[in-house]
Structure formats: C-alpha cells, structure tokens
Structure 1
Amino acid sequence: MTMSPLDAPRDARNSDLEAALIEAREAYVAARPKSAEIHTQAREVMPGGNTRTVLFYTPFPTAMQRGEGCTLWDADGREYLDLCGEYTAGLFGHSEQRIIAAVAAAMAKGLNLAAVGENEGKLAALICGRFPSVDQVRFTNSGTEANIMALAGARGFTGRTEILAFRGGYHGGVFTFPFGAPISPVNLPIPMRFADYNDPAGAAAAIREAGDALAAVIVEPMQGSGGCIPATREFLQALRDATTETGALLIFDEVMTSRHSYGGMQKRLGIMPDMTTFGKYMAGGMSFGAFGGRAEVMAVFDGHKPGAMPHAGTFNNNVLSMAAGNVALGEIFGEAEAEALFQRGETLREACNAIAQKHGLAMHFTGLGSMLNPHFRAGPITAPYKATVEEEQMRELFFFDMLAAGIYLARRGMVALSLPVGDAECDRFLAAVEEFCAARKPVLAPA
C-alpha cells in the first residue's frame, strides 16, 4: 500500500530550521527599531522602501549611519565588522585619508566643469598599463554602463547583432541572467544566446553554431552574484579559441575580478580577451565604470574618425572619480597590495572550509582571493544552480547569525575583503563561522 504524502513523517530537521529562522528574524527586529522606522517611512515614497535591489531583504534592511576603516555603525548604534565591502567597490574601506584628501582637493577646484581634464588621461594610462588586453579605455559611471557600451562597441565593430552570455551570470542591472530564468523584463532588448558556465565543449559548440551572427561572448572570470564561482582555465581558453575562430569578440567582465591581481584574472590566467569591463573599486569608492580593449576595437569610438559611435554621459569623467581613481590605482593598490589581498582571501576561504568539514556539514565556501561565498551543499561547486527552499533558509540563518555576531556581509552571504581587514578581523569572522557551525549543526545538512 502506497503511503499518502500527508501521512509521511515530517523531517524534524526542516521544522527545527524554520523555527530557528523565525527566532533569528524576531531577534533581528527587536534589536533594530530605528532601522524598522526608517524602512516604514521610506515605503511611503519608494516601492519596497528601497532603491537598490541587492540591499533589500525582509523583514527590513539594516540602515547604516557611518563607517570608518572596516567598521560600520547602524541607526540603532550597533557596531559591525564590514565584510560586505560594498560588493567589492569598498576596497579601500570607509576612511582612506589619501582618497578623502584627493576628493576634497578636487571639490575645492570646482565640481562640474563640463570639460576634459588632465586626470582622465592619467587614470586611463594607469588602467592601460595594468591590464594586458587594454590598449585604450573609456570611462562610464558604473559597471552596468561599461558592459552596455562594451557590447555596443562589439556590435559596432563586428557588424553583428547577437551576444552569448552564461546562465547564472550578471553584467549589471540590465544584463541579469539568474540560473533557471535568464530572461528578465529589465534586460535590454539585445538578441541573446545562453550557454552553461564552465562547460567548455558546450560553450564552444554554441559559439560555432552562432557563427557570423555572433558579435561577442561576455563572461565573468568568476561569477559574482552567481555565488563566487570561478571559471576554469580550460573553459575560458575554449571561449578564446572559439571566438578567434568565428570572429566574435571575447569580453571579460572584470568589474569584480580585476582586484584579484595587478592585472586582473586575465593576467593571472594568461588569457587575453578582446575587451574588458571594469567598475567597483577603481575610483576609490566614487561612482565608476570603464571599458577598454584592443586599439582597433576601441577605434569605433574615436571622434577623430568619420562615423564614430557616440558615447555620452554627463558624469563619465567627473572630477571626483578621476581624482580619486588616480590615487587609488596610482598610489595605494599596487602589485604587492593586490597579491597580499588575494592570498589573505585564499587563506580565509580554506580555513572556512576546514571548519565546515570538521563539523561534518554540507557547507562549502567558493571564491577566489578576497571574494568568497558560502553554499549550503557539498563542494566542489563549479556551476550556478537553483537553491532549494532549505538551502535558502540556511543562507538566511547564516546572514542573521553573522549580524548578531556583529559581522556585516551581503545578504547572499558573499564576503568581499577590504584593505583595512587584517588578521584580527579574519580571525573574528572564522570564530563566528565556527560558532554558527557548532550552534546550528542540528538544523544544517550533514555532509
């Protein structure tokens, strides 16, 4: 006789997980009355009380009031170790005095000059000197805009229309391709094809199948919002070989991964794209984006040539970003600093995985260098996936437990180290991970 699903015994682990999460939410709410009030008032004039989706979570997001170094204070006076790092944009922390001085000096000379300046050429030279694939570069206001213009440039250069992207990828607010649902109404209406991340044969076949309809392939050397999943060298090399064969351009979205060495992942791996996009930290925390590549490709934007493609943007070369960027890349984040940050993150991720393994949990941290992300399933994890309800609950519980321990990270669990984060801060995070694994072991999945 077949048992009815209604008669099946309920998994006590799931029931306990739900109860633990309810308790964690209640403790979160009780500790943050001012954040709750800020959210309630904002909902009257903003849909969801929010203007940046990645910062939205229920029951309401914590409102921060100030930061210094790698420390944050919220509206209720609670103090946190900042390991969110503004989703990699906050590389220099909240109070790097050299950047503050550069911004103050720029402001003192006038904000909106409506003219070119010397600093933009200097910053461009710094970027071209660091990244092997970049002969020339242009600036935008964000990584999203950088990817928009890079794809436009690729279509203009090749005379082709279609783009190949990867399921689970993210290339800005209008190019978001979550696993299982890559088509979104917010995406720009560009003809897109999709392939699976870290599938060299499948991606190469998709590129060859597209043939001369394909203008470009855009790929993150490590998927960021997809869960800090690094690309294999074999996968990226397959993209390089297939695009060279068919005449499509290969675009590396290094908005996040450019921090992983002095010349980004392209230099670390020795694989050269035709174009690269940048953003996040490069202007020291000011708004920033950039796209660059081979001189012959970038020439489509050369105003000295008839029929050049336009590239507008009131704040592309704003004086604050240009001044701060020169100091950030020219004086602070050099080759030694980039390598030290990378190695610090590698050590931290290995230690996190050792803790999960010691406790016998199906919990695995992926990432590269100073970026890492927990997954509540066994590793290795080499491709994006659709998380189960239980996995999402464990992720939420991890987030609330970290906040309760005074550690602020991304809601999805991502950690992005900033330069002020040292050994003591890493040890504090490891202690919190240890406590989470020990205390929550009864409701987490066993290895």
Structure 2
Amino acid sequence: MPDHALPRNSDLTAALVEARETYAAARPVSAALHAEARAVMPGGNTRSVLFWTPFPTAMVRGEGCRLWDADGHEYVDFCGEYSAGLFGHSDPRILAALRGALDSGLNLAGVGANEVRLAALLCARFPAMERVRFTNSGTEANLMALTAARAATGRAGVLVFRGGYHGGVLTFPAGQPMQAVNLPIPVQVADYNDAEGAVALLEGGGIGAVIVEPMLGAGGCIPADPAFLAALREGCDRTGALLIFDEVMTSRHHAGGLQMRLGGVRPDLMTLGKYVAGGMSFGAFGGRAAVMDQFDGHRPGTLPHAGTFNNNVLSMAAGLVAMGEIFTAEAADALWARGEALRARLNEVAAGAGMVFTGAGSMVTPHFRPGKLTRPPTTASAEEEQRRELFFLDMLAGGIYLARRGMVTLSLPMTAADTEAFVAAVSDFCEARRPLLAVA
C-alpha cells in the first residue's frame, strides 16, 4: 500500500491534497509534457475525458493489458480505452491483419471485399441488424441512426435520458444543463429507468426517435430494467417513433448485444463502436431493412452518407479478425461471467465503506454512496467528488489505471491474477480510507 494511503489522514480534504502532491511528485515528465502542451493546445489537451488536474499521466507504451507512462510507471489497464480496448494493446492476430492491410496500400477510394465480409458477419451476429453501414466512430453512428429515424418518421423530436452519452455532441449528464457542444437537435429528456415518464413524453407527440443505452456507460454503468426497455418498445410501436439502442459500449456483453441479455427487446436501429474493429477508428449503425434502405443508392431520393474512412482498409481488416476469429460468442460469454464475478467481489470488499459498484458484465463503476442505483444521481456532494478523485489517485499509486470518473472495462488479455490485484487494491483503499468514506 502506498504511504499516502495510510489512515493517518483523518480529514478528506487534507488526504486529497496529499494524494495530489504525491501523484505530481512521481510524474515530472508528464508534468513537463503538460506544461509544453498548454502552449499550443487549450488546457494542454485534445480529448476532454483524458484531462484531469493537476495534469494527466502521459502514456508511452502498451502491451497486453498493461501500460507504461512517461515516468516509467507500469499499470494494469482497467480503463480499456473506455470500452474500445477490448482486445488490449497488442493482440498479434489484430496486428498481423493491420500489417497485411498496410502492405496493400492506404486510402484506396473504392469499395472492397472486406467491408462486405464484415457487414455480413455483423448482420449475422446481431439479430437487430438486417442492414448495416459503417462510420468512423460511435458518435457518427448515433448521428446517422438518428438521421435515419427522423427521416423515416418525418418527426424531428428525439427522446433521450439523463445520464445518457451518445458521443461528444450528444451528451446528457444528469443534474447538469444542456451541453453547449450538443448539436441543435430538439430533444426531450426523461429519467433513465422511468418507463411511465418516458412513455408520457412519447405520447405527447413529435418524437421521431428514442435513443437509449441498455446500460448507461459514461452515466455510471447503470443497467436498464428489462421492463423499462419493453415499455419503450411498446410506446414506440403505439406512437410510430423508432427505437435506437446505443450499444457502442454494451454490445460486448453478448454475441447479440446486451439487448439479448435484457429480455431480447428488439430495437429498430442499433449502433456499434470501435472495439468491433479491434480498437481502430470505427462505428456502425444498422437495423430494419425498411429504415436502412433509405441509404440505398439504387433508389431515387436516397439519403447521403459520407465519410472518407467509413470503409478504411485498416478497420475492415482488423474487424474481420476481431469479430470473426477472436471475440466469438463463447468469448463474449466468458468475459461476461468474469465481469459479473469481479463486481460481486468488489461489492464484498466495499461492504460498509459507503460505496457500491454498479455495472453489468465487463463494465463497472464505483459510486460513493450506499444503496442500489437505478439511475444516475442528479446531485453529487463535494465530498462525494473528493472521494472519487481520491479513489482514482490511490488506484494509480497502486498500479491500477482506470477512468478518472472511476469506470472500469475489462479486456480479453486480463487474467484472474489481474482482476484479483484490482480487488486487493480496492480492499486496501476501503480499509485505509474507511474513516473518510463514511456517509452521514
């Protein structure tokens, strides 16, 4: 256990100040890189989720499920690129596919056989996908799915949920005002897992699309109640709105997506993200043929769908190997079971410490408040946020890298020893910091 984690700190603020100082002192190279970056990038950063104070850790190398930072520290990577890093950092089969694609040339400005094979593989794997098109990211996939739904229904309105994250320009954090970066799409916002409230908004008219994550990802790894998803399906059927499942993160939980584990409610459209292409730049949206065929170029009045890298050779080659050879249905089931067992162990060691781990399968997030959560909290006390930061810093000090907000996503290269190391680190944190974790 790091020295700063000893229970001599009885005051939360003082403990956090000490943890920040220890963090900074151990990372002079990262500090220097951040100072240099601030001269040319606002905040010294180009991706907000990777920013934290006093400065973010700069990574220089990854192998398997491990990372090394610029100051020589080694970590077990429990961030997993926020779910995109399912295959770790160096799977030899994916690397071989990428090298083979590079050998045949980049930016070919044409269609290719690999995109057909990957599309067929995904349509066979995900029952909700009768047709599919590719994008560069999950953000783009969600934007195009919304475009398809709004065009098909002739209605502009979109129903979203507090805590939902559908990309950098479609984010709806609970307890915060509408984000200025969001696209100017007319949205109505409901509470997650509130079937009655959501259906009431649907029946108010004007809604062309409902977009929902079967489990909130950035919103705290809070799974949907199957009855909630069923109510959305029934409400969309009654009102003519189209139901979109954002499975950019959650499709890893079953060969057919988390929707198959939560009662099998079938959406009209669903979206996928980068893990499908082995972590390369990738997204996909697909669904009912009648909706997707709006993009059929053989038809008059087709919807355009641009994107130079939609079918780039690297993503297509990696995707075929990732989904066709490595992440089989059996591998998805095994990863789900490993994650379920991990979350149970984490909640065992955290019992009585004023924190709870929520999630499903290989995705989990700690919340620094006791009790069951069915939707993300709309308010968080200053102490709750301090405990979250302290947990993050203590995990880094113990060689565990996770998201600054606490989210954990497992990767396939992880072993039982890796997950047990995380459980041990959490147990040490709860023991050492217990006086600071008590919730009044």
**TM tier relative to shorter chain:** over 0.9
1:307 to 286, 301, 326: 301
Does the C-alpha gap of structure 1 residues 401 and 14 become closer, same or farther in structure 2, counting only changes over 3 Å?
Answer: closer
In the alignment, what sits opposite 2:138?
143
Over the aligned positions, Cα root-mean-square deviation in angstroms equals: 1.2
What is the TM-score of this pair, normalised by structure 2? Answer: 0.97
Instruction: Give 1:15 shift.
Output: 7.3
User: Distance in 1 between the 2:353 and 2:431 partners?
Assistant: 10
Check whether the contact 2:9–2:15 (CA below 8 A) recurs between aligned residues. Answer: no
Matched, 1:352 2:364: no
User: Distance in 2 between the 1:26 and 1:436 partners?
Assistant: 18
Matched, 1:134 2:134: no
In the alignment, what sits opposite 1:441?
434
In the alignment, what sits opposite 2:57?
62
User: Distance in 1 between the 2:259 and 2:432 partners?
Assistant: 41
Matched, 1:240 2:236: no
In the alignment, what sits opposite 1:3?
none
Check whether the contact 1:65–1:73 (CA below 8 A) recurs between aligned residues. Answer: yes
CA deviations over 1:219-278 (Å, ceiling 9, x no partner): 000011110010100111110000010000000000000000001112222110000011
Report the AA paired with residue 131 of structure 1.
Answer: F
Question: 3-state SS of the aligned residue for 1:138?
Answer: strand
Instruction: Give 1:45 shift.
Output: 0.3
User: Distance in 2 between the 1:266 and 1:364 partners?
Assistant: 24
Instruction: Give 1:214 shift.
Output: 1.1
1:374 to 360, 366, 370: 366
Check whether the contact 1:128–1:136 (CA below 8 A) recurs between aligned residues. Answer: yes
Does the C-alpha gap of structure 1 residues 390 and 266 become closer, same or farther in structure 2, counting only changes over 3 Å?
Answer: same
Check whether the contact 1:142–1:289 (CA below 8 A) recurs between aligned residues. Answer: yes
Check whether the contact 1:363–1:375 (CA below 8 A) recurs between aligned residues. Answer: yes
What is the TM-score of this pair, normalised by structure 1? Answer: 0.95
Within-5 A mapping of 1:206-221: 206-209=201-204, 211=205, 213-221=206-214
Report the AA paired with residue 373 of structure 2.
Answer: I
Runs of 4+ in 1 over 4 A off after TM superposition: none
In the alignment, what sits opposite 1:430?
423
User: Distance in 2 between the 1:445 and 1:395 partners?
Assistant: 13
CA deviations over 1:346-393 (Å, ceiling 9, x no partner): 000010001111xx2110000000000000001201111121111000
Instruction: Give 1:280 shift.
Output: 2.6
2:292 to 291, 294, 298: 298
Question: 3-state SS of the aligned residue for 2:68?
Answer: strand
Question: 3-state SS of the aligned residue for 2:172?
Answer: coil
In the alignment, what sits opposite 1:406?
399
2:337 to 338, 343, 349: 343
In the alignment, what sits opposite 2:119?
124
In the alignment, what sits opposite 2:29?
34
Instruction: Give 1:201 shift.
Output: 0.9
Check whether the contact 1:71–1:81 (CA below 8 A) recurs between aligned residues. Answer: yes
Matched, 1:273 2:267: yes
**Could you list the runs of 5+ residues in structure 1 that have no partner in the other structure?**
1-12
**Could you list the runs of 5+ residues in structure 2 that have no partner in the other structure?**
1-7
In the alignment, what sits opposite 2:190?
195
In the alignment, what sits opposite 2:323?
329
Q: Which stretch has the larger CA shift, 248-257 or 258-267?
A: 258-267
Check whether the contact 1:150–1:291 (CA below 8 A) recurs between aligned residues. Answer: yes
Q: Which stretch has the larger CA shift, 40-49 or 173-182?
A: 173-182
Instruction: Give 1:182 shift.
Output: 4.5
User: Distance in 2 between the 1:136 and 1:411 partners?
Assistant: 37
Report the AA paired with residue 322 of structure 2.
Answer: A
Report the AA paired with residue 243 of structure 1.
Answer: C
Question: 3-state SS of the aligned residue for 1:165?
Answer: strand
Question: 3-state SS of the aligned residue for 1:21?
Answer: helix
User: Distance in 2 between the 1:341 and 1:36 partners?
Assistant: 36
User: Distance in 2 between the 1:410 and 1:216 partners?
Assistant: 31
Matched, 1:417 2:424: no
In the alignment, what sits opposite 1:185?
180
Tell me the number of residue pairs that the alignment of Structure 1 and Structure 2 aligns: 431
In the alignment, what sits opposite 2:253?
260
Q: Which stretch has the larger CA shift, 387-396 or 180-189?
A: 180-189
In the alignment, what sits opposite 1:10?
none
- Percent identity, aligned pairs only, is 68
CA deviations over 1:134-156 (Å, ceiling 9, x no partner): 10000000000001110011111
Matched, 1:319 2:313: yes
User: Distance in 2 between the 1:328 and 1:205 partners?
Assistant: 41
Instruction: Give 1:159 shift.
Output: 1.0
User: Distance in 2 between the 1:280 and 1:18 partners?
Assistant: 38
Report the AA paired with residue 287 of structure 1.
Answer: S
1:397 to 373, 379, 390: 390
Report the AA paired with residue 386 of structure 2.
Answer: Q
In the alignment, what sits opposite 1:159?
154
In the alignment, what sits opposite 2:353?
361
Instruction: Give 1:181 shift.
Output: 2.2
Check whether the contact 1:14–1:390 (CA below 8 A) recurs between aligned residues. Answer: no
Question: 3-state SS of the aligned residue for 1:255?
Answer: coil
Does the C-alpha gap of structure 1 residues 202 and 26 become closer, same or farther in structure 2, counting only changes over 3 Å?
Answer: same
Matched, 1:107 2:99: no
Question: 3-state SS of the aligned residue for 1:298?
Answer: helix
Check whether the contact 1:221–1:252 (CA below 8 A) recurs between aligned residues. Answer: yes
User: Distance in 2 between the 1:388 and 1:206 partners?
Assistant: 30
Check whether the contact 1:176–1:182 (CA below 8 A) recurs between aligned residues. Answer: no
Report the AA paired with residue 125 of structure 2.
Answer: R
Does the C-alpha gap of structure 1 residues 446 and 159 become closer, same or farther in structure 2, counting only changes over 3 Å?
Answer: closer
Report the AA paired with residue 421 of structure 1.
Answer: M
Check whether the contact 2:94–2:318 (CA below 8 A) recurs between aligned residues. Answer: yes
Check whether the contact 2:158–2:211 (CA below 8 A) recurs between aligned residues. Answer: yes
Check whether the contact 1:131–1:267 (CA below 8 A) recurs between aligned residues. Answer: no
Check whether the contact 2:10–2:435 (CA below 8 A) recurs between aligned residues. Answer: no
Question: 3-state SS of the aligned residue for 1:413?
Answer: coil
